[in-house]
């Protein structure tokens, strides 16, 4: 099931946003601009200063934020599974104050099994839960063009659609709780292995005597075309490795994919090779580079 591309005004709706990194910062801005009453929390208070100046309300803890939502929505967009667990379960977490009926939406990339456990804790508090990870990066978050992959109950998905329509364009209800994170795992597997393929292809083109920029242009629009070739390929050619999404984040997602495949006794050789290469990139001191910096791993191996 796919969400409508039509955006509805969020006037009068209370939304909490926990996590003001590259994605959450834009989530809060877009929701506020569309009329929602937005409450924010970040471990780094400075990230909230511009939002506070525009009228968004800062909360010192997730508990305080939950107290202000009155059964509305809480979006979590933090770095990893441990951070999501802290937001929900810590001694300053959401569970201490969440109102029945509040819809909690995890829009980060979280381990599937942990997602189901956390959802159970939220539901025990008579609140609701969706896992809704995204793809499209900081640019997609800023422009509201993200792909959003949603796991959870039908009613909760439809209730959250007005928010999703503000944040993204390709909105899909994949299945029950955890299904959104499964889809995101598949997404990150393809991203990790495609970045490797693009880096290797451009390296081969250069070594064999062709201009990699012209090779990339020749491939665009053909069967090998992809957003990875378009965006990361251009960054590789320009040697622009200023991080949009860091290699450390990609490694974390590949690790989660390997863990999930292991849970189901799957041996996925391409994924396991990707893990070795991305781990090598981070261990080699390149973890803070953009994912496109992966081409340096390929070059170093050759």
Instruction: Please work out, in degrees rounded to the nearest 5, the angle formed at the alpha carbon of residue 20 by the alpha carbons of 95 and 58.
Output: 65
Q: What confidence score (pLDDT) does residue 294 get?
A: 98
Indicate the SS3 state at residue 24: helix
Rounded to whole angstroms, the Cα distance separating 194 from 123 reads: 38
Using alpha carbons, select from 202, 226, 216, 219 the residue that is nearest to residue 293.
Answer: 202
**Structure letter (DSSP) for residue 286:** I
pTM for the complete prediction? Answer: 0.92
Q: Say how many C-beta atoms besides its own lie within 10 A of residue 99's C-beta.
A: 15
Rounded to whole angstroms, the Cα distance separating 165 from 145 reads: 9
The pairing of strands 168-175 and 134-135 is unpaired
Name 172's bridge partners: 2, 149
Q: What confidence score (pLDDT) does residue 15 get?
A: 98
Active site residue 184: yes
Element (H, E) at 76: strand 73-76
Q: What confidence score (pLDDT) does residue 234 get?
A: 97
Rounded to whole angstroms, the Cα distance separating 226 from 88 reads: 37
Q: What confidence score (pLDDT) does residue 9 get?
A: 78
Q: Say how many C-beta atoms besides its own lie within 10 A of residue 262's C-beta.
A: 11
Chain centroid to Cα 23, Å, comes to 7
Name 74's bridge partners: 16, 104
- Catalytic residue of the set 29, 121, 128, 184: 184
Question: pLDDT tens per residue, the chain (302 residues)?
Answer: 555 544 457 999 999 999 999 899 999 999 999 999 999 999 888 889 999 999 999 999 999 999 999 999 999 999 999 999 999 999 999 999 999 999 999 999 999 999 999 999 999 999 999 999 999 988 899 999 999 999 999 999 999 999 999 999 999 999 999 999 999 999 999 999 999 999 999 999 999 999 999 999 999 999 999 999 999 999 999 999 999 889 999 999 999 999 999 999 999 999 999 999 999 999 999 999 999 999 999 999 99
Q: What confidence score (pLDDT) does residue 8 get?
A: 55
Express each pLDDT in 220-275 by its tens digit.
999 999 999 999 999 999 999 999 889 999 999 999 999 999 999 999 999 999 99
Instruction: Please work out, in degrees rounded to the nearest 5, the angle formed at the alpha carbon of residue 86 by the alpha carbons of 84 and 89.
Output: 105
Using alpha carbons, select from 50, 150, 109, 74 the residue that is nearest to residue 254.
Answer: 109
């Amino acid at each position: 099931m796919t969400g409508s591309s039509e955006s509805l005004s969020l006037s009068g709706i209370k939304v909490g946003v926990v996590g003001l990194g590259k994605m959450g910062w834009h989530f809060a801005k877009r929701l506020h601009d569309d009329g929602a009453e937005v409450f924010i929390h970040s471990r780094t208070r400075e990230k909230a200063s511009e939002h506070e100046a525009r009228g968004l309300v800062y909360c010192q803890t997730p508990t305080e934020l939950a107290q202000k939502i009155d059964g509305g929505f809480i979006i979590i967009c933090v770095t990893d599974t441990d951070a999501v667990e802290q937001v929900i379960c810590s001694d300053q977490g959401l569970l201490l104050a969440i109102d029945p009926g509040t819809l909690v939406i995890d829009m980060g990339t979280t381990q599937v099994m942990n997602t189901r456990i956390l959802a159970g804790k939220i539901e025990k508090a008579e609140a609701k839960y969706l896992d809704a990870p995204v793809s499209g990066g900081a640019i997609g978050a800023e422009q509201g063009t993200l792909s959003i992959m949603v796991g959870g109950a039908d009613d909760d998905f439809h209730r959250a659609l007005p928010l999703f329509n503000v944040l993204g364009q390709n909105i899909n209800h994949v299945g029950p709780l955890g299904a959104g994170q499964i889809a995101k795992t598949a997404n990150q597997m393809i991203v990790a292995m495609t970045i490797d393929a693009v880096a290797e292809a451009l390296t081969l083109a250069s070594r064999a005597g062709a201009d990699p920029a012209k090779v990339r242009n020749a491939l665009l629009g053909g069967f090998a075309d992809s957003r990875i070739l378009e965006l990361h390929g251009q960054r590789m050619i320009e040697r622009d490795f200023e991080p949009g999404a860091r290699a450390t984040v990609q490694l974390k997602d590949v690790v989660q994919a390997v863990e999930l495949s292991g849970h189901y006794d799957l041996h996925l050789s391409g994924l396991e090779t990707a893990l070795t290469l991305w781990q090598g990139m981070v261990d080699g001191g390149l973890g803070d580079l953009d994912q496109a910096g992966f081409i340096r791993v390929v070059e170093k191996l050759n």
